[in-house]
Structure formats: C-alpha cells, structure tokens
Amino acid sequence: MDAEVNNAGSCHNSEDEIDASLPATPARRLSNLESLENAQNNQGSFVWSHFDKDENFKYNKRATCTYCSKTYIVCSGGSTTNITKHLKNVHSIQQETQSTGVNVLEMLKAPKWSYNHNEMINNQVKWIVIKQHVFTIAEEPDFINFIHSLHPTAKIPSADTIKSHILNFYRTDKEKVQNILLNISGKFHLQLTAGPVLQSNHFYQ
C-alpha cells in the first residue's frame, strides 16, 4: 500500500501518531444531523464518516483517511482515539456533543400529537383575554386561515362561542376571588377599575 501506515497498536496518545507534514484541510465541525446519522449508521463512532475500513479490517484493523489517504491501524479493542486525533489535529474535524441528537431521537419516540377541540378553544380564549383581543377575532378570515394552516380539519368556534367561554371563565375566577376575600380577616379597601368609565370603591370587613 502506497499510503503511510501508522501502527497505533500500543493505543497511546503521543503526537507520533499524527503526520504533521500533511497540510491541514479547512476547519469544519460536524453538524448535529451528521452526528446523529453517524451515531446511528456508523457503528457508534463518527470517525467512520471520514475513514474507510480496509477490506480485511476485521483482521488487520487498517483504516484510511478519506481526505489525505493516511492509513492507521486501529487498536485491537476497537478504540478510535488515534484516528479521532488525526481528524482533529490535521483536518480540524471534531465531533460535537450528541445531546441534540439524543433529544431528536427521544422526540421521535414521543407519542404523536393529537388534535383536541376543547383544548384548542380553552387556549384560544386564554389568548384572547390575556392579549386583550376582541372576541370577534375568531371569525376573521386571516385568523381562520392561520388555524387551518396548523390543523386543516380544526373546527373554528364562533364569536358567540368564544364570548360564552370568556363569561364562564370570568364567573369561575370571580367566585375564586370572592372565596379568597371572604377568608381574609380584618378590614381592607378594594378599588375596582374597569377602563376610564367605571370606577368603584368598596370597603370590606
């Protein structure tokens, strides 16, 4: 074989394993997608996207760099430390953390999302109230198109339905506040303001 062979059978980490005479290729890091594909398809080590195994790799443990044709002998235990160092020191290629890839795999294994009409209405009502939108926004064409872009078969509630839900939320929260106030001992002053028109002062004891 014409390519230089580096015997890394001792599995040490000395710089003698690197051919410093070869020009370094431009710096490059593996993308998260590449790292994920390597983890899945290349026997657990990202280096095999950059090294070709010899036809008799099972017996001679030879691997050749696809960038500079430098050949290494991988440790018998399967360690790829020497060729990993070659990629990093000579070609400025190193593996990024696998955390993103793991999250992607976990996401793919997660239960599939399913449309829930009641949940959609409740979230829509909360959004309208918190952002102080008019409840008739539910019937505006642009809003309907937006919802259908997220879920084509979603049933858009009418403005009257949204108004009814807002009132129900109001009554429920009003009862909660009344119960809290009733359980407060002592005397306190409460001022309610509803826009510039309605203001009221109440004393509770």
Token match 């309208």: residue? 128
Domain ranges of the chain: 5-108, 117-204
From first to last of its 205 residues, the chain has per-residue pLDDT tens of 444 556 544 454 433 344 434 444 444 444 544 444 444 444 446 788 888 888 988 888 888 998 898 998 887 666 788 888 888 888 888 776 544 445 555 656 666 777 888 888 999 999 998 888 998 998 999 999 998 888 888 888 899 999 999 898 888 888 888 888 888 776 666 665 554 433 444 444 4
Cα 140–chain centre separation: 33
Q: What is the pLDDT of residue 169?
A: 86
pLDDT at 77: 66
Query: Which tokens hold the place of 24?
Result: 């370094």
| pLDDT (0 to 100) of residue 19 | 42
Name every residue whose Cβ is closer than 8 Å to that of residue 182 and which is 6 or more positions away in sequence: none
- State the alpha helices, DSSP H only, in 29-80: 32-41, 57-60
How many angstroms separate the CA atoms of 107 and 103, rounded?
6
